[in-house]
Amino acid sequence: MEKIFGHPKSLVDTKTHYCAGCGHGIAHRLVAEVVDELDIRERVIAVAPVGCAVVAYDYWDFDCSEAAHGRALAVATAIKRVRPQNIVFTYQGDGDLAAIGTNETIHAANRGENLTVVFINNAIYGMTGGQMAPTTLLGQKTATTPKGREASLQGFPLKISEMLAILPAVKYIERVSLHSPQEVLKAKKAIKQAFVNQIDNVGFSLVEILSPCPTYWGLSPRQALDWIRDVMLKEFPLGRIK
């Protein structure tokens, strides 16, 4: 077991490709720490689809699989059913999980697949150029909503966690954030719970993480953290949803 300030065995010591202030690096470390603390490094299999974290395997020192855009939960379902002894999780952004992969997400949850989902919500498409995502806030400017998202044109922000929570086979959903050290610790606790649930064969668990994207929000890293706290939390309140 690694000390909290030590370097996790499950995290590769390498340079990052993420933008300054991006939340993916923090989320990667939290996952790595949890994997080490639960002593499941030799059992865990990550599934990462298309998005900013498409090369997550460069940062995690455990088995990882790629998936086509939006298909992570379909791939994870197959792996878990073939290898039920393994701990399988997906690491997905909002465009992947809640847009092109909505179908896979809903049906995997509805089947109650014994999987863990780490869902990064930064309210924008990062890898492809800052377009509007399903979770983009009303009034938020993106490459495809230069005047701000309008409900009458692009609909409302999609609250996928609340939607999934109504499904009877879903066992655990919690929304956390990375905008402060205190919230980062809460995020780690939620991620750990989602993995413990799978180890205990509880069923489908998802942790939604509000994460900064300073580059496409047009903010400094510090301002991006404040924007989560002051703006994003009003639309996506934190806490255990189910």
Domains and CATH numbers, the chain: 24-240 (3.40.50.970)
Q: Please tell me the predicted confidence (pLDDT) of residue 134.
A: 95
Give the mean pLDDT of the chain.
Answer: 95
Share of the chain above pLDDT 90, in %: 91
Q: Which stretches of 38-101 are DSSP H helices?
A: 72-82, 94-95
Mean pLDDT for 71-94 is: 97
Q: Residue 169 and residue 71: Cα distance in Å, rounded?
A: 20
Angle (deg, nearest 10), helices 24-37 and 181-199:
50
Token representation of residue 32: 């790595």
* Other C-beta atoms lying within 10 Å of the C-beta of residue 80: 23
SS3 (DSSP) at 121: strand
The two tokens of residue 24 are 């993916």
pLDDT at 5 exceeding the cut of 70:
no
Task: Give residue-wise pLDDT tens across range 135-167.
Answer: 999 999 999 999 999 999 999 999 999 999 999
Q: Flag whether pLDDT at 2 surpasses 90.
A: no
Condensed to tens digits (0 to 9), the pLDDT of residues 191-234 reads 999 999 999 999 999 999 999 999 999 999 999 999 999 999 99
Q: According to the model, what pLDDT value does residue 51 have?
A: 85
How many angstroms separate the CA atoms of 170 and 153, rounded? 31
Q: Which of 41-45, 47-51, 84-88, 227-231 has the lowest mean pLDDT?
A: 47-51
Q: Report whether pLDDT(1) > 80.
A: no
Categorize the per-residue pLDDT at 3 as very low, low, confident or very high, splitting at 50, 70 and 90: very low
Residues 72/89, Cβ–Cβ less than 8 Å: no
Q: Which residues of 195-214 are buried (b: 16+ CB within 10 A; e: fewer)?
A: bbbbeeeebbbbbbbbbbbb
At residue 28, the 3 state secondary structure works out as: helix
pLDDT of residue 237: 98
Indicate the pLDDT class of residue 172, thresholds 50, 70 and 90: very high
Of the listed ranges 46-50, 119-123, 236-240, the one predicted with least confidence:
46-50
pTM as predicted = 0.95
